[in-house]
Amino acid sequence: MAGVSDAQIRRAGRWENGDQMTGCYITTLPFEFMRATADFEPAWAGSYHVPRATVQLEAWLRSQIWPQLNRWRDFEAEDKATGAFIELLHWLRDVLLQDAVFLRAKYPGHPVFQEPVFWSPQFFATKVREAAQESFEDDRGTAI
């Protein structure tokens, strides 16, 4: 399977003989198998690149997705789990805006894309920048 070893496939299906080292110390996540099933080079952990993740979003545009999120930062110090969740939401806000460029083109009538933020000039400026960046994107074979 796409250059993945039998041992990785056995770990993915948990078809190994259960010894203590495997059960207690080795993660059950077979990374090579996971990379291969996601269509990346199995043996090289850095073989993927998401070009739209390099696009810097404007602060105003980010603040339009979950506007209360910046106020919630005050709760980070009180609880470690809450802080990690708020950090995740900040990251997901960027991912949503970066992916919305492509999703809006595919699903233009979706109710999410009727929100004012997706019709703002700032969003369209980001859309143009991302489309330009995508046109110069190397595929993973030439980037290596």
Widest CA span in the chain: 59
User: Per the structure block, which two tokens stand in for 49?
Assistant: 């690149």
Query: Would you place residue 88 in the very low, low, confident or very high pLDDT band (cuts 50, 70, 90)?
Result: very high
Q: Is the pLDDT of residue 87 over 80?
A: yes
Q: Please classify residue 83 by burial: count the beta carbons closer than 10 Å to its beta carbon, then call 0-12 exposed, 13-18 middle and 19+ buried.
A: middle
The confidence score (pLDDT) of residue 38 equals 79
Q: What is the pLDDT of residue 37?
A: 82
pLDDT tens-digit series, residues 30-78: 788 888 887 777 777 776 667 777 778 888 889 999 988 888 876 666 7
